[in-house]
């Protein structure tokens, strides 16, 4: 027996109420985290988007992002065995898991993000795999807290366009990168890549190496 029009509207009403309560709880949690971590926490709109829409699309996106393709970009960025690697804006952490294998036991992988969910997901994934060379940094992209000239390779994957202060981020990348180290960005569109190139070259700090529609590579 099909539900009546009234029953359908009644069900829809409670579904909307449930969604509203879920979003309200997320906002309350965000405000608590904001009080605890301040500027280290990402903006509210980004936080809500990750916890409302992303859980439905992330698994599919990660499945379709073939590891071999991710590994190609990492190697193109100059990542090698024994390197100290930094990635900002880690998403679900797939490229960092691959990076941990490339650098090996003598290398270190720094995973920086300002979204607690990203950190938590990669933490769990790394523990399941028994990975021990990933270190987590919960902070803004422009404040890594790392020592000067301590990083061999920096890679930002589909995230640079989301960063708040891109100019300061570029300065921070220059500060932590070793001489002759590589700084690479992979974006999701040519438009974002063009914008990223403009920001980086306006800083006048890095030497250009190569680019295609979505990939940029610089050296110090």
pLDDT score of 27: 77
pLDDT score of 186: 94
216 burial type by CB count under 10 A (0-12 exposed, 13-18 middle, 19+ buried): buried
- Kindly list the domain boundaries of the chain, sorted by start residue: 5-61, 66-219
pLDDT score of 200: 97
Distance set, CA 64 to CA 160, 176, 218 (Å): 21, 33, 28
pLDDT in 10s for each residue of the chain, 220 residues: 555 555 445 566 666 777 677 778 777 877 777 777 676 666 676 666 666 665 555 555 554 555 677 889 999 999 999 999 999 999 878 899 999 999 999 999 999 998 887 888 889 889 988 999 999 999 989 999 999 999 999 999 989 998 988 999 999 999 999 999 999 999 989 999 999 999 999 999 999 999 998 999 999 9
Residue in this structure with the two tokens 């997901």, named with its chain if needed:
121
Q: In Å, how far from its chain's centre is CA 150?
A: 20
pLDDT score of 47: 63
pLDDT score of 12: 64
- Assign domain 66-219 to a CATH class: alpha beta
pLDDT score of 176: 98
Q: Yes or no: say if 85 and 155 are a contact pair by the CB < 8 Å rule.
A: yes
pLDDT score of 8: 47
pLDDT score of 182: 97
pLDDT score of 184: 97
Distance set, CA 86 to CA 44, 49, 209 (Å): 25, 25, 19
């Amino acid at each position: 027996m099909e539900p009546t029009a009234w029953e359908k509207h009644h069900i829809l009403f409670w579904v909307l109420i449930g969604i509203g309560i879920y979003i309200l709880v997320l906002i309350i949690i965000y405000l608590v985290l904001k009080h605890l971590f301040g500027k280290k926490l990402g903006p509210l709109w980004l936080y809500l988007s990750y916890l409302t829409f992303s859980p439905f699309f992330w698994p599919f996106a990660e499945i379709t992002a073939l590891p071999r393709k991710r590994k190609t970009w990492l190697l193109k960025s100059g990542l090698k065995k024994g390197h100290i690697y930094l990635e900002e804006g880690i998403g679900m952490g797939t490229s960092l898991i691959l990076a941990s294998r490339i650098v090996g036991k003598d290398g270190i992988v720094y995973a920086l993000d300002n979204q607690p969910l990203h950190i938590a997901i990669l933490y769990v994934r790394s523990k399941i795999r028994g990975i021990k060379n990933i270190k987590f940094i919960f902070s803004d992209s422009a404040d890594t807290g790392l020592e000067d000239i301590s990083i061999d390779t920096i890679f930002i994957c589909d995230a640079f366009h989301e960063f708040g202060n891109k100019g300061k981020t570029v300065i921070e990348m220059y500060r932590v990168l070793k001489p002759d180290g590589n700084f690479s960005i992979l974006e999701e569109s040519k438009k974002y890549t063009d914008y990223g190139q403009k920001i980086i070259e306006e800083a006048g700090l890095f030497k250009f190496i190569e680019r295609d529609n979505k990939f940029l590579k610089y050296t110090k």
